[in-house]
Amino acid sequence: MTPVDAAGPTGIALRTSTADDLRAIALLDGRAFHWTLPEEDLELFRRGSFDPANFLLAHDGDELVGATGAYDFTVRMPGGGALPAKGVTWVSVAATHRRRGILRALMRAQQERMLADGLAVSLLTASEAGIYGRFGYGPATVRHSVRIDRAGASFRTHVPDPGGVRYVETDELRALAPALHARWHAVTPGALDRTDGWWDRILADRPEHRDGDSQLYHLVHGDGYVTYRIASRDNGRICRITDMATAGRDAYVALWRVLLGLDLIGTVTAEVAPDDPLPHLLTDPRRIRTDGRHDGMWARILDVPAALSARTYGTELDVVLDVEDPFLGRGGRFRLRGGPDGATCEPVTDAPQVRLGTSALGSLLFGGHRASSLGRVALVEATDPAVLRRVDVAFTAEREPEFGTDF
């Protein structure tokens, strides 16, 4: 019989994964998302990113019917601080066992374990945006899918040409990119770090990963890099950027100059933050079209004082928050005092000035959404409009958050 770590819904047992469970987890996940993980990818994941202690399984007898896992990350906070966090992944429930409370039991047990490990924040990227709000997660970052008409994309005369870009092969990028990415991570709210296992997976460039596109090409600068593929379509060739990190202006400008100077390319596509400055570099910013606006990383605050005191704020703020957390019961009233130099947050019994749920607070955590916008749809409520305006300014980060690593 299946060993039991925790009780689930009637007839369902929860337990921690072992190393021997990976193939069964992959089969469950493949049935849920209609895909098959090649043996080479499964082995790469086993060696580099699979920590059985981070996976929680649900069993009906000896049958695996649900799973949730996590990766270990360090996430950058506004102001430059950082927190350890779990990135939730591989969440699936067998189609034969839906609507039995299995997902809810897995999510609750997982969050309780994260709290026991002393974590303040849980993160995820959502395959379906309607699922995770009820578990306390809120969309925390935004991504724009952009398409640039390369033929008409000329740089303004004042834009410098820093140079310093060169092509490298994958082995050299593998040696250079971690340090370059770490510098980008240090200055980007919401950014996630990458372990060696992540780099091995990201740069694995087998033909079955290419969807008919070219191999990966890599450009590096002393302060950044970009990786791209070339796709051939009926309407011409497309440069599809797959990964980019720049820690300074020169690297950003220099890399984009090369990308928009590629011969025989009609279009360049990328995923960028809402405040990406590329339009300001071009004489005709209309050459950049936004094809979509998507939620990116979601955040779930597990420990309100620890999470809110780990970042800085755009203006001095002293406010009592009433945080609702019906799923995990970690809400309450908290006094947040902060500013550009740091913050403190502690439980209080004072009358609240602002009321919000954990999902709304997760949306505010990295500065990716505005309190005033959430207030317009009653997700944030303040006793005084002036208080809401101050919260709005205070939670704005130094730049739009980007997480940078899909998980």
Mean pLDDT of the chain: 95
Asked if pLDDT for residue 3 goes beyond 80, the answer is no
Burial of 24: CB neighbours in 10 Å, binned 0-12, 13-18, 19+: middle
Helix (H, G, I), strand (E, B), or coil: what is residue 66?
Answer: strand
Which CATH topology does 304-395 take?
A: Nonspecific Lipid-transfer Protein; Chain A (3.30.1050)
Above 90 in pLDDT, residue 8?
A: no
Give 248-278 pLDDT, tens digit per residue.
999 999 999 999 999 999 999 999 999 999 9
CATH topology of domain 6-119: Aminopeptidase (3.40.630)
Domain locations along the chain: 6-119, 143-294, 304-395
**What's the pLDDT score for residue 25?**
97
Q: Give the confidence band of 202 by pLDDT, cuts at 50, 70, 90.
A: very high
Scored b (16 or more CB within 10 A) or e, 360-372 reads: bbbbbbbbbbbbe
**Better-predicted residue by pLDDT, 209 or 340:** 340
36-55 per-position pLDDT tens digit = 888 888 998 999 899 999 99
Closest CA to 112 of 328, 347, 331: 328
pTM of the model: 0.95
Q: What is the distance between the terminal CA atoms of the chain, rounded to a whole angstrom?
A: 32
pLDDT reported for residue 6? 66
Q: Which residue has the higher pLDDT, 7 or 67?
A: 67
Average pLDDT value for residue range 352-380: 98
In this prediction, residues 336-365 reach a mean pLDDT of: 98
Q: What is the pLDDT of residue 7?
A: 65
Q: Which residue has the higher pLDDT, 38 or 57?
A: 57
User: 70-74, 233-237, 361-365 — which is least confidently predicted?
Assistant: 233-237
How much is the pLDDT for 1? 40
- How confident is the model over 141-190, as pLDDT tens digits? 999 999 999 988 999 999 999 999 999 999 999 999 999 999 999 999 99
Instruction: For the domain covering 143-294, report its CATH number.
Output: 3.40.630.30
Q: What is the distance between the alpha carbons of residues 140 and 300, in angstroms, rounded to a whole number?
A: 9
pLDDT of residue 209: 84
Task: Report the alpha-carbon distance of residue 254 to residue 160 in Å, rounded.
Answer: 8
Q: What is the pLDDT of residue 134?
A: 96
Task: State the DSSP string of 367-395.
Answer: SSS-HHHHHTTTSEEESSHHHHHHHHHHH
Helix (H) or strand (E) holding 238: strand 236-246
Please check the confidence at residue 319 and state whether its pLDDT lies above 80.
yes
Question: Residue 211's pLDDT is what?
Answer: 87
Q: Is the pLDDT of residue 4 over 60?
A: no
The reported pLDDT for the residue numbered 277 is 96
pLDDT in tens, 68-112: 999 999 999 999 999 999 999 999 999 999 999 999 999 999 999
Token digits of residue 270: 């990328």
Q: Is the dihedral of CA 326, 330, 332, 334 positive or negative?
A: negative
Identical fold for domains 6-119 and 304-395, yes or no, is no
CA distance 253 to 275: 15
Q: Are 70 and 110 in contact (CB under 8 A)?
A: yes
> Are 14 and 109 within 8 A, CB to CB?
yes
What percent of the chain is modeled with pLDDT above 70?
98
Q: Is the pLDDT of residue 312 over 70?
A: yes
> What's the average model confidence in pLDDT over 232-258?
95
Split at pLDDT 50, 70, 90, the class of 233 is confident
Residue 284, pLDDT > 70, answer yes
Element (H, E) at 125: strand 121-125
Residue 91 DSSP code: E
